[in-house]
Structure 1
Amino acid sequence: MARTITAHEVADAVYAAIPRLACVLPPDVLAGLKAAREAEGDPRGRIVLDQLVENARIAERDQVPLCQDTGTVWASLEIGPDVLVAGDVLAGVDDAVARAYDEALLRKSVVGNAIFDRTNSGDNTPAFTDIHPVSEPGVARLHIMLKGGGSDNASRVVMLVPGAGRAGIVDALVDCVREKAANACPPLVIGIGIGATFDKVAGLAKRALMRPIDADAPDEETRALEGELLAAVNATGIGAGALGGSHTALAVRVETAPCHIAALPLAINMGCSAMRRCTVDL
């Protein structure tokens, strides 16, 4: 029997998630920071990691934001083939965001138009939303992320030639990290999208950030590529807080898709040390 997901369910989930996401670091990210702190050999890097762990403790205890940049809201609804959506299922998200940001006293960071009207919208709307069909029967899964400006600004899309191959992907990521990681509040969680088209590859990278850093990729090839990319990033020595060390990133997560024979689209979406995201099963 088909399930029906309503706009009310989606809006309620977004409204409930925002205050907690702003103040409580996801368990996998906090565990990653603690593990990095124990393994870090650089004294300055270890001090930064100590401070990040302490910041997370204080934020959760006092219910204050992990970061002054409480981000824009990204919400992606995944629906299985037997799940119905009642009308505009995302219609209530902006109202939920406005209420949550106002009631939780979170900073509003959205402007009316990127070029023609840089006036703050005053309620952190609109949220950035999409619906993503998946093949899993019965699934109605809502991904929610509060994305800071510094980490998104450090991201990029590169249309590589197919001959660039795996080495070209590694080189493009390392170039991006060397140029921009210091402004993205490392240690990072990095989402990588490979394939699809120019307009779709960035969505792959964003969704890649949703996989917990303690959850391995389902296939051996992706796991091996993630390990290679993470090693290359950490070999830069940029480190936590960009003050040096072996933990420039906690994890690299990869999502791939088919693409044109003449293309190798690559998207790099940086996630900062305050990686504020959750997944809600509706």
Structure 2
Amino acid sequence: MRDIHVSAISDAVKKLCMEANWELESDMLRAFDRALTTERSPAGKHVLQILKENAQLAKTKRIPYCQDTGFVVCFVELGQDVHVTGGPLYEAINQGVSQGYKEGYLRASIVRSPFDRVNTGDNTPAVIHLDVVPGAAMKIMVMAKGGGCENRSKYKMLTPAEGVEGVKEWVIECVRTAGPDACPPLILGVGVGGTFEKSAILSKRALFRELGSPNPDPTLDALEKELLDKANRLGIGPQGYGGDTTAFGIHILTYPCHITSLPVAVTIECHAHRHKEVTL
């Protein structure tokens, strides 16, 4: 059994929240570079260049890449041989979020109730997903999820008869209806299978895969490439100005499902795809 004190967890989450907002991951920067070589629209290319420069400024000046500093979504893989000491795990994570958003001067965007709309003041609470895994380590993955693109995320229960073609049509429809409102170029996380809530969680988890990396399942990898090509043929383009780059990537995760069901969740992420992770 290995002990991990809650102070180490809070400190890690604090740093992840600040760094995620200040510094895009290298996979995102490579996506901008690839798009700049293939984008044919002058307006689209100009937008891509501005977004890349914005990322460089945010990193250099240690300021947020986007004014919407997001809802913190945290996936934790907790080794079954880890003993969290000093307090509750969820409180430690939220303490880290609070410290990160205050010390990093990041906008507080969370309200305590969907009805009274009173801001909590420190961007807590986070949305936390916990998996218990073998081993004696703890992996913490943090995403600062913007509200505009989150509002364009969708779920649909298809019939099994609609099959893979129905899934394709639904995913592309989600991109089409999101249009410029979700701040493209987009990254889509797609969860297929399981139940209502499982597919939604899968769609969020899929976004943590390195952008540009192949899906380990060859069938899903081919499907992702087909969908990405179709999405980019819509012509929405960077920030809706038209062009070849409507999406940077489409990542799919699947899970077994009931014989009567075909649930599909699509989480839409904008060009401010801010995610960081650490293993304790």
**So what's the TM-score if we normalise by structure 1?**
0.94
Give 1:7 shift: 2.8
- State the SS of the aligned residue for 1:105: coil
- State the SS of the aligned residue for 1:91: helix
* Structure-2 residue corresponding to 1:112: 112
* Structure-2 residue corresponding to 1:219: 217
* Structure-2 residue corresponding to 1:88: 88
Give the Cα separation in 2 of the matches to 1:218 and 1:32: 20
- 1:194–1:267 Cα contact (<8 Å) kept: yes
- 1:11–1:90 Cα contact (<8 Å) kept: no
* Structure-1 residue corresponding to 2:239: 241
* Structure-2 residue corresponding to 1:71: 70
- Correspondence list, 1:183-222, <5 A: 183-222=181-220
Give 1:83 shift: 4.0
Evaluate the alpha carbon distance shift between residue 137 and residue 92 of structure 1 in structure 2; reply closer, same or farther with a 3 A threshold.
closer
- 1:80–1:139 Cα contact (<8 Å) kept: yes
- State the SS of the aligned residue for 1:247: coil
Q: Which residue of 255, 258, 261 corresponds with 2:259?
A: 261
- State the SS of the aligned residue for 2:123: coil
* Runs of 4+ residues deviating >3 angstroms: 2-6, 80-87, 136-139
Question: In the alignment, residue 235 of structure 1 is paired with which amino acid?
Answer: R
Give the Cα separation in 2 of the matches to 1:96 and 1:248: 34
Evaluate the alpha carbon distance shift between residue 174 and residue 9 of structure 1 in structure 2; reply closer, same or farther with a 3 A threshold.
same
Give the Cα separation in 2 of the matches to 1:97 and 1:80: 22
**So what's the TM-score if we normalise by structure 2?**
0.95
Give 1:257 shift: 0.5
Deviations 1:216-257 (A, max 9, x none): 211211211111111121111111111111111111111110
Give the Cα separation in 2 of the matches to 1:133 and 1:181: 38
Give 1:180 shift: 1.1
Deviations 1:146-175 (A, max 9, x none): 011011101011111111111111111111
- State the SS of the aligned residue for 2:128: strand
- 2:19–2:276 Cα contact (<8 Å) kept: no
Question: In the alignment, residue 244 of structure 2 is paired with which amino acid?
Answer: S
Question: In the alignment, residue 106 of structure 2 is paired with which amino acid?
Answer: L
Give the Cα separation in 1 of the matches to 2:82 and 2:159: 38
| Identical amino acids, percent of aligned pairs | 40
Question: In the alignment, residue 280 of structure 1 is paired with which amino acid?
Answer: V
Give the Cα separation in 2 of the matches to 1:181 and 1:219: 29
Evaluate the alpha carbon distance shift between residue 92 and residue 137 of structure 1 in structure 2; reply closer, same or farther with a 3 A threshold.
closer
- 1:154–1:181 Cα contact (<8 Å) kept: no
- 1:23–1:66 Cα contact (<8 Å) kept: yes
* Greater CA drift, 136-145 or 58-67: 136-145
* Greater CA drift, 137-146 or 55-64: 137-146
Question: In the alignment, residue 98 of structure 1 is paired with which amino acid?
Answer: S
Question: In the alignment, residue 111 of structure 1 is paired with which amino acid?
Answer: V
* Structure-2 residue corresponding to 1:21: 20
Question: In the alignment, residue 240 of structure 2 is paired with which amino acid?
Answer: A
* Structure-2 residue corresponding to 1:133: 132
Give 1:205 shift: 0.4
- 1:5–1:89 Cα contact (<8 Å) kept: no
- 2:9–2:96 Cα contact (<8 Å) kept: no
Give the Cα separation in 1 of the matches to 2:9 and 2:154: 29
Give 1:39 shift: 1.0
Structure 2 unaligned regions, length at least 5: none
Give 1:9 shift: 2.8
Give 1:181 shift: 3.4
- State the SS of the aligned residue for 1:224: helix
1:163 aligns with 2:152: no
RMSD over equivalenced CA pairs, Å: 1.5
Give the Cα separation in 2 of the matches to 1:137 and 1:224: 33
* Structure-2 residue corresponding to 1:37: 36
- State the SS of the aligned residue for 1:120: coil
Give the Cα separation in 2 of the matches to 1:18 and 1:39: 32
The number of residue pairs the alignment matches comes to 279
- State the SS of the aligned residue for 1:92: helix
* Structure-1 residue corresponding to 2:9: 10
- State the SS of the aligned residue for 1:111: coil
Evaluate the alpha carbon distance shift between residue 159 and residue 85 of structure 1 in structure 2; reply closer, same or farther with a 3 A threshold.
farther
